[in-house]
Amino acid sequence: MTKMSAEISDQELILSWQRGNDRAFELLYKRHAVRLLAVAMSKIKNREVAAEVVQETFMILFNKRSSADQIVNLPAFLSTISKNKILDHYRREVQFQKYESRIILEASELDHSTEQHIDSRDLESQLGMQIEKLPAKCRHVFKLSRQEYLSNKQIAAKLEISENTVEQHMRKALRLLRLYVQHANTTIIIWGFSMLILFGF
């Protein structure tokens, strides 16, 4: 490139990148990442999560290398992807808080007699142990989904298996965990289903 980087348009950088110049992608990143990070930080209030949003946003762009020249407005394209990633984060947070509130409500409605008092932390620990007892592949897929918040597509790519296989492992894991909950006593079932929902089932 003979021009100063600030004088090169996004479209020119994209075309250069498509021709094999990885430096061009680096310049695109430096040009837009700070703005995206600032927006994500203003919404999420967590620098680590905001940085992940930016990383995932540029990963999507990177995976579109062959068709990136069709992007008419790169800032708008990146902003839309980043916005969707931020919304995904909020959906997870809202879901967590909603079911956490449900657990608290159900706890307050339980009979606090010695016989019926249940320690939610104990139940969570029991469910955690049941997760560790899942078949190895089911357990791995389940943890990637519920603890690392990866999508089925991301899990499939990471483990080099099909999305259908990922779904099969998840269905099996959920079925086995629900069987465990159903064999608990009535009071534990109330807590159990709340915890299962909290885990994102």
Q: Say what the pLDDT of residue 195 is.
A: 47
Residue 17 Cα distances to 33, 108, 114, 185, angstroms: 17, 59, 68, 61
CA distance 91 to 83: 12
pLDDT of residue 147: 74
Write down the pLDDT at residue 123: 57
Q: How far apart are CA 134 and CA 80, in angstroms?
A: 38
Q: What's the number of CA atoms in the CB half-sphere (13 Å) around residue 10?
A: 17
- What's the gap between Cα 172 and its chain centre? 21
Longest Cα separation, the chain: 79
Residue owning tokens 């094999």: 20
Rounded Cα distance between 60 and 12, Å, is 19
Count of other CB atoms within 10 angstroms of residue 192:
23
Whole-model pTM?
A: 0.48
* Residue given tokens 């299962």 in the structure block: 196
How far is residue 146's CA from residue 198's CA, in Å, rounded to a whole number?
Answer: 10
Residue whose tokens read 């016989």: 115
Which structural domains are found in the chain, ordered by start? 5-88 (1.10.1740.10), 110-198 (1.10.10.10)
Give tens-digit pLDDT for 54-98. Answer: 998 999 999 999 999 999 999 999 999 999 988 888 777 665 555
Give a three-class secondary structure readout of 17-44.
Answer: HHCCCHHHHHHHHHHHHHHHHHHHHHHH
Residue ranges in the chain modelled with pLDDT below 50: 99-100, 103-104, 107, 110-118, 185-201
